[in-house]
Structure 1
């Protein structure tokens, strides 16, 4: 039995720099967005530019050392978003309850498995970030419900909007969840495996759920921003009214004198 372990380093990776560091391993596939290495017989390392690193049949020491090299500092794998699946070989292709059943393990099979796991842990990272944003905006929503106002400065508002938009842009840039490797289109078994992995890992619906959550957060922030703008507009109106009254009073006093 083999193991596939995926981790997300929560930042983008410079593949050209990483490639220069991994000269001890055999590079069997590479594109602009990923590197796939064979480290031993049926052992693989897959590095995706949006921060996911996936291992098949690698020792714990190799996993920890690789993560430390890629992240440029000591990184405890237990603190990272991760997925682990058992790989078993047999006569059928199936994915269920933490196990991936395949007919054999080769470069193309490994590529399909590792791409899907890379997407899954990246989604996990984005879910965590989205939940954090949602929790913070929920605080101000509750304040608005209870008091009719909220304690949020213009600078904080801009930062929230910026974080939300950057998160949406990162997801759009990083995760092509509806795309599959070219090899999956040319081989029935690979296509079936890719479909079943996406279905088991709930890739598409999780991606859509994050998008919906971010849209809801953005709508809340837009509402907060509108309320804040109205508040400042009202304040400016009162300031103008007071200044006009002051001028009127000053004119009256001058005439009386």
Structure 2
């Protein structure tokens, strides 16, 4: 059997709600739970999820490009560079994964959705990992500054901006964390969950999620450090105001006795 390409794309944070309707008007397709299956030419299918991911099963490059141009109008917070993962697949008598090749014993659309669920989570996790690591790298000098000088060399406004940036990253992970759980799709199609679990294991998603959780904890610690610094500066500011007011009162009192 011919080995075919299986490519995952994450192009944006999520798609507009009406994207399924627009796709139905343009393509021959089927909606199953949270996924829409788009049938292109013979043996070419795209499976799209509303959280910014679509999986191309044996789709020619020109058809992928045309489809990407079409869905661009429905993207929310598009990425300059999409997250892309590429595998191969082939029809075999037993389901297994070896050396980036999936050996499928079932080429039905439902089976493809089951596998696509894991592939979609994989690229979404790529996005989370990159954003969290980038935040940690950008702020790695803060603990170093505290260790070397005992204070953070940032203005009050810069500290507030840092807190906002870190909070946004942490919130995004927490708000979309359910995307990394076992999809509801398998409540209705439990017979395909075994394929999904094998894909999850091969892609090492569970251990990567654990590492991601640890990194989110680091961001939480950075938030605490910055928050404490902000409180300290505010209380120091109040202390100086009190000292100045007391000094002013002493000066006024002395003038009255002179």
Q: Give the TM-score normalised by the residue count of structure 1.
A: 0.87
How is 1:16-165 mapped onto 2 (pairs within 5 angstroms)? 16-31=18-33, 33-72=34-73, 79-152=81-154, 153-165=158-170
- Kindly indicate whether the alpha-carbon contact (under 8 Å) linking 1:15 and 1:34 is maintained by their aligned counterparts in 2: no
Q: CA deviation at 1:157?
A: 3.2
- Kindly indicate whether the alpha-carbon contact (under 8 Å) linking 1:184 and 1:194 is maintained by their aligned counterparts in 2: no
Residue 169 of structure 2 corresponds to residue 168 of structure 1: no
Across the aligned residues of Structure 1 and Structure 2, the Cα RMSD in angstroms comes to 2.5
- Structure 1 residues 146 and 239, CA, compared in 2 at 3 Å: closer, same or farther? same
- Kindly indicate whether the alpha-carbon contact (under 8 Å) linking 1:10 and 1:125 is maintained by their aligned counterparts in 2: no
Q: Distance in 2 between matches of 1:218 and 1:132?
A: 15
State the secondary structure of the residue aligned to 1:9. Answer: strand
- Kindly indicate whether the alpha-carbon contact (under 8 Å) linking 1:27 and 1:35 is maintained by their aligned counterparts in 2: yes
5+ residue gaps, structure 1: none
Q: Distance in 2 between matches of 1:140 and 1:10?
A: 30
State the secondary structure of the residue aligned to 2:106. Answer: coil
Q: Distance in 2 between matches of 1:216 and 1:198?
A: 25
Q: CA deviation at 1:140?
A: 1.7
Q: CA deviation at 1:21?
A: 4.1
State the secondary structure of the residue aligned to 1:92. Answer: coil
How many residue pairs were aligned?
251
State the secondary structure of the residue aligned to 2:139. Answer: helix
- Kindly indicate whether the alpha-carbon contact (under 8 Å) linking 1:164 and 1:218 is maintained by their aligned counterparts in 2: no
Q: CA deviation at 1:122?
A: 0.7
Q: CA deviation at 1:224?
A: 1.8
Q: Distance in 1 between matches of 2:5 and 2:117?
A: 15
- Kindly indicate whether the alpha-carbon contact (under 8 Å) linking 2:35 and 2:113 is maintained by their aligned counterparts in 1: no
Q: Distance in 1 between matches of 2:56 and 2:254?
A: 84
- Kindly indicate whether the alpha-carbon contact (under 8 Å) linking 1:36 and 1:45 is maintained by their aligned counterparts in 2: yes
Q: CA deviation at 1:22?
A: 4.8
Q: CA deviation at 1:207?
A: 2.1
Q: Distance in 2 between matches of 1:42 and 1:69?
A: 21
Instruction: Choose from 234, 237, 244 the match for 1:235.
Output: 237
Q: Give the TM-score normalised by the residue count of structure 2.
A: 0.87
Q: Distance in 1 between matches of 2:193 and 2:51?
A: 24
Q: Distance in 1 between matches of 2:59 and 2:208?
A: 28
- Structure 1 residues 25 and 182, CA, compared in 2 at 3 Å: closer, same or farther? farther
What does the per-residue CA deviation read over 1:41-94, in whole Å, with 9 as the maximum and x for residues that have no partner? Answer: 332111111111111011011111212221239xx9993111111101212111
Match of 2:224 in 1: 222
State the secondary structure of the residue aligned to 2:131. Answer: helix
Structure 1's consecutive aligned runs of 4 or more residues displaced over 6 angstroms after TM superposition are none
Match of 2:193 in 1: 191
State the secondary structure of the residue aligned to 1:151. Answer: coil
